[in-house]
Amino acid sequence: MTDDNDFTGRVALITGATRGIGFGIAQELVRRGASVCITARKEEELERAVAELDPDSDGRAIAARGSADDQGHQQAAIELVMDEYGRLDHLVNNAAINPQYGPLMDADIGAVRKIMEVNVTATLAWTQLAWRAWLRDNGGSVLNVASVGGLRAGAPIGAYNTSKAALIHLTRQLAVELGPGVRINAIAPAVVKTVFARALYENREAEVAAAYPLKRLGTPQDTAKLAVFLLGGDAGWITGETVTIDGGVSLAGGV
């Protein structure tokens, strides 16, 4: 009997994965037997993350450095995976930026364009490349990291949340186009305790967590387990869905 939680022999590429949600997903995939390629912009962070993921240096983790929206980096990362492992079963589109804070009427349009380029357009580009390299002919799964902010309005990170709303719809659209061989789903976390999100809770974690029915913020381990479930065979009849993981804060009217 096949264990659909066992990723032995499978290969995943995770963008923006030296820390936080992306690194947590990489850790969980490696723990379940997968080999991974992680991407990020900073060489030293990639080296540290690979060393932690693959302490025995047995090839279970490799890295590709570059900006998520750089076409040359995207192509080189996919080629690296295929050269090293000969397959690419799972793609996790996690890389995202958020240089805009405050009312959208005051937002710098250049910053908004950059957010959409990294958070939405690059996600499509990575998926196209993975599709052409392996997924089209062999099947597999894709996981997009969205946000509860993409499901409701009101927060002062409106450009970021708008990009995540677009990502949620992109997930639906691609599910229609890529089935039956490839499934694609998304997760929509609330505040997870990462460096990326620290402006939303730093120095006031108890106050922020008080709005959550579960009275705590999320951790990368919380999101990793859901992400890996959606990537794996146990979720074999799920595609095009965005699963909220938010400690119940949406029930309480929070964002």
| Tokens standing for residue 63 | 């890295």
Q: How far apart, in whole angstroms, are the C-alpha atoms of residue 135 and residue 142?
A: 9
Compute how many other C-beta atoms are within 10 angstroms of the C-beta atom of residue 51.
11
Q: How far apart, in whole angstroms, are the C-alpha atoms of residue 131 and residue 82?
A: 12
β 242-245/61-65 pair status: unpaired
Catalytic residue among 85, 101, 160, 212: 160
The 3-state secondary structure of 172-218 reads HHHHHHHCCCEEEEEEEECCECCCCCHHHCCCCHHHHHCCCCCCCCE
- 73 touches 64 (CB < 8 A): yes
The verdict on whether 160 is a catalytic residue reads: yes
Q: How far apart, in whole angstroms, are the C-alpha atoms of residue 82 and residue 92?
A: 16
Distances (CA, A) of 217 to 211, 220, 225, 245: 10, 10, 16, 11
Active-site residue set? 160
